[in-house]
A and B are shown apart, each in its own frame.
Chain A
Amino acid sequence: MLRYSLTRLASLTASLLVASLVIFLVLEVVPGDPAAFMLGLEADPETVAALRRALGLDAPAPVRYLDWLGGMLRGEFGLSYTYKVPVAELIADRLWISLPLALYALALSTLIAFPAGIVAAARRGGPADLAVMGTTQLGIAIPNFWFAMILVLIFAIKLRLFSAGGFPGWGDPLAAMKALTLPAIALALPQASILARIMRSSLIETLQEDYIRTARAKGLTPAQALWRHALRNALIPVLTIIGMQFSFLIAGAIIIENVFFLPGLGRLVFQAITQRDLMVVKNVAMLLVLAITLVTFAVDLAYAAVDPRLRRR
């Protein structure tokens, strides 16, 4: 198990390095002069030169790349060009909205998907199964930003149960949770639909295994066989998907946070992109990569702990 963890850790480090190189190349080498890019087409050459000095762009690209990596290891992410504050501070502030939002959405999607998938698999072909399959098709097909606007229209504009956007801060936890509720529902809808379908197909496959027949033969009812034997084994592919959905939730947050005017990480990176604040963009992008790879790493380790066959790879 230790050797497996170490090899996985090595490949994690390697992929982080490659990802950082890709991000650096896309942001700082492809556009030519980053300072000229940040200031736009009609910038004054003297201003560009001043910004170049301020950003330390006089150094050759490989040196800048290593500087950036070293800075990140020390927890220094540089100064945001538009906000004039350390990027690390910006990220820390925004994380307090985006992380709870992603977790809220993940919890919602799991809470909806598990029962729906289990019922559909247990009553395969019945009306409940048809209802779940139909609803999930819809959930996948509806664009979530549009669904978010429909939620605003119904619950904020017509019924006045929720506010249409903005965030009151965590001073009042209830109000904060309420402000995150519509965004979390909009984020969770497609994820819940995908998860429910995977839960269903995985459970249907497991229910056809020999050990389920054995369990039934020794006298368990279908429900007992499902809860005691099938469900645990069916959960393995479902957990992978939950791990992967974390990254979809973060990507989805860019759009949803814009619909609801939530000052989270997604809105930060979107504004940074439109304002050409490369310092913020490259560090937030790297942070997202780190989050996604760490989650994948944790899921892999959890698997190996559960299923010894995986350790031999």
Chain B
Amino acid sequence: MTDAARAEAEAVLSAPPRTLWRDVWRQFRRHRGAMAGAVIFIAIGLLVTLGPQLHDIDPTAPNFRARNLGPTWAHPLGTDNIGRDSFAQLLHGGRVSLAVGLSAMTLSILLGTLIGILAGYFRRLDGPLMRLTDLFLALPLLPLLLVVIMLFRDPLRTAFGPETGIFLLIVFVIGITSWMQTARIVRGEVLALREREFVLAARSIGTRQHRILIRHILPNVVSPIMVAATLGIASAIITESALSFLGLGFPPDFPTWGRLIYDNKDFIQSAPERVLWPGLALALTVLSVNFMGDGLRDALDPRGRGR
């Protein structure tokens, strides 16, 4: 063996092992849209988590001497009609919007995965659970969601305080009304996986049901779940903003992007930028998340891997 060939062989041997997620990352990195989306999303995340430390102004404190200001160094986006700093509101609002998006998505994915796996794996549960899914898809969810918020707003407010109570309520109502797509996708995958040889093999050596589900079925449906999770963040953020826009989300002194649009909609003629910025922030966040989701879907598709 020549030295060159030996060096090459050693390079291959010492290279990190090829695993599924390393391959996926390789694909994801080559996807230009996905990388742009990831960079923007991380930038927005850093801005709303670290930004309030750097731009240290209380977003809820009115300052009647500085009302309706244009952009200045102290107030980069100006102030609103009672002198609150618009940039600080935008940063704090983003924090809440992202937190709601991530938490509601987690709840909806957990529910969807649970129902999907149960329906796909246990034949007896398939019928009832899928009828339930169809029912949720047919119900006019927005009106019911609004009703549930009206019903539980006051009790939760007294139980957990105004902010935590509303946060839990919003996350809960978005979570329980958005699991259906995940459940359908997971069920479809599990239906096919259940008939595969490795499941038969596991069963024939006496593996228990729950162990088959957790060790053998679940890891194989992680990919579609991840894609659904990414896209779920986007739709949860949009739903929260719509609720806040209808005035049924967070209380007025607790800014979210949707709430900011709602609060400033009467000033759209005199100060359109106060409506423009939160909307642009929403659109940019959703856009970056959707691009990431698309990239992830392509990267997880085995047909495109290894290229």
Chain A hits for B269, CB < 8 A: 153, 157
B148 to chain A, nearest CB (A): 7
A/B pair count, beta carbons within 8 Å: 111
- Taken together as a complex, chains A and B put the C-alpha atoms of A247 and B180 apart, in Å, by 15
B: interface residue count bin: 35 or more
Pick from B150, B248, B268: contact of A276, CB under 8 Å: B150
Pick from A153, A274, A276, A281: contact of B272, CB under 8 Å: A153
B234 contacts A by Cβ under 8 Å: yes
B101 to chain A, nearest CB (A): 13
On whether the beta carbons of A15 and B135 are closer than 8 Å, the reply is: yes
On whether the beta carbons of A138 and B283 are closer than 8 Å, the reply is: yes
Chain B hits for A22, CB < 8 A: 135, 139
Known: A37-B151, A274-B150, A285-B143. A145 touches B138 (CB 8 A): no
B199 contacts A by Cβ under 8 Å: no
Pick from B131, B143, B245: contact of A269, CB under 8 Å: B143
On whether the beta carbons of B138 and A292 are closer than 8 Å, the reply is: yes
A211 to chain B, nearest CB (A): 23
B54 to chain A, nearest CB (A): 27
- Taken together as a complex, chains A and B put the C-alpha atoms of A19 and B286 apart, in Å, by 32
- Decide if the interface of chain B is mainly helix, strand, loop or mixed: helix
On whether the beta carbons of A270 and B140 are closer than 8 Å, the reply is: no
On whether the beta carbons of B287 and A247 are closer than 8 Å, the reply is: no
On whether the beta carbons of B148 and A289 are closer than 8 Å, the reply is: no
B162 contacts A by Cβ under 8 Å: no
B58 contacts A by Cβ under 8 Å: no
Known: A143-B242, A143-B279. A288 touches B287 (CB 8 A): no
On whether the beta carbons of A141 and B143 are closer than 8 Å, the reply is: no
Pick from B143, B151, B242: contact of A145, CB under 8 Å: B242
A240 contacts B by Cβ under 8 Å: no
A233 contacts B by Cβ under 8 Å: no
Chain A hits for B284, CB < 8 A: 141
Chain B hits for A31, CB < 8 A: 151
Nearest residue, chain A, Cβ from B275: A149
Pick from B143, B248, B265: contact of A281, CB under 8 Å: B143
B163 contacts A by Cβ under 8 Å: no
Chain A hits for B248, CB < 8 A: 274
A273 contacts B by Cβ under 8 Å: yes
A192 contacts B by Cβ under 8 Å: no
**Which positions in B face A, CB cutoff 8 Å?**
131, 134-135, 138-144, 146-148, 150-151, 154, 234, 238, 241-242, 245-246, 248, 258, 261, 265, 268-269, 272, 275-276, 279, 282-284, 286-287, 290-291
28 intermolecular pairs with C-beta atoms under 8 Å apart: A15-B135, A15-B138, A19-B138, A22-B135, A23-B144, A26-B148, A27-B147, A140-B290, A141-B290, A143-B238, A145-B245, A146-B275, A146-B282, A149-B265, A150-B276, A150-B279, A153-B268, A153-B269, A258-B246, A270-B246, A273-B146, A273-B147, A274-B248, A276-B150, A281-B143, A288-B140, A288-B143, A292-B140
Extra 15 A-B pairs, beta carbons < 8 Å, given A149-B265, A273-B150: A15-B131, A22-B135, A26-B144, A137-B290, A140-B290, A141-B234, A143-B245, A149-B261, A251-B142, A254-B143, A255-B246, A258-B246, A269-B143, A273-B147, A296-B138
